[in-house]
Chains A and B, each alone.
Chain A
Amino acid sequence: MALLKDKDREQLQKEFAQLQNSVKLVFFTQALDCEYCPMTQQVLEEVVGLSDKIQLQTHNFAIDKEQVAAYKIARVPAVAVVRVEPVLILAGGKAATRERDYGIRYYGVPAGFEFAALVGDIMDVSRGESGLSASSKTALAQLKEPLHLQVFTTPT
């Protein structure tokens, strides 16, 4: 059974039609001892099914240690939202791409408020524009030390 309602799917398809750059959802899961991994996978599969600009890449948290380290994943289920940007257009119209990882992660099923946040992040990451005010951008640009934010939410 689909998690997204038909009405929501239509709305999301309209929103995703504005996507310019592709976005990749890098999903970390594991087969055992992960109650919420299957539902997260289903949410993500439904989302990527709504736009050819959204890709899904799945890794096994227990096995793909290199990717777990590369994306600095702490637990499962986890989703990294990364931008796929073209670096040059090759002959024949194909583009060589590179990944831009802004450091955005979701831990847990992206449902409720977190689903809305995920959709917002997909749009922002695709645009490469955070939507923050000029003064916020200036303040953040002056950071000298790493800043790790953990935003705790509940689905409802």
Chain B
Amino acid sequence: MAMESELVTADAVDASEYPELADYYQVYGVPLTVANSKVRVEGGMPEPMFIGQILKGVSGMTQKT
């Protein structure tokens, strides 16, 4: 996703090595994807669903603010 848009940055974070960060984002299961520190997508899923959930989540945030 980061390759397809200059606006996207993607971090892979080892939850076990950064317990404070994992606590902050309440990581109880992996994989957990957090978008713009707010939108949470838990587990693995097919690509269209995954990207759909993230884009829908972050666009909802923008409209609210």
- Do A107 and B11 contact each other (CB < 8 Å), given the known contacts A143-B5, A151-B31? yes
A18 within 8 A of B: no
A94 within 8 A of B: no
Q: Are A139 and B51 in contact (CB under 8 A)?
A: yes
A140 within 8 A of B: yes
Q: A residues within 8 A CB of B58?
A: 145, 147
Which of A36, A103, A107, A149 sits near B35, CB closer than 8 Å?
A149
- Do A148 and B3 contact each other (CB < 8 Å), given the known contacts A108-B14, A139-B51, A153-B14? no
- Do A150 and B8 contact each other (CB < 8 Å), given the known contacts A108-B13, A155-B14? no
Known: A117-B12, A139-B55, A153-B13. 4 other contacts (CB 8 A): A102-B3, A143-B55, A147-B8, A149-B9
Q: A residues near B, CB below 8 A?
A: 35-36, 72, 74-75, 102-111, 114, 117-118, 124-125, 128-130, 132-133, 135-137, 139-141, 143-155
Chosen A-B contacts, 28 in total, with CB atoms closer than 8 Å, are: A35-B17, A102-B2, A103-B8, A107-B11, A108-B12, A108-B18, A109-B14, A118-B12, A128-B3, A132-B1, A133-B47, A133-B48, A135-B48, A136-B1, A136-B4, A136-B51, A143-B55, A146-B9, A149-B2, A149-B9, A149-B54, A150-B13, A150-B33, A152-B14, A152-B31, A152-B33, A153-B31, A154-B30
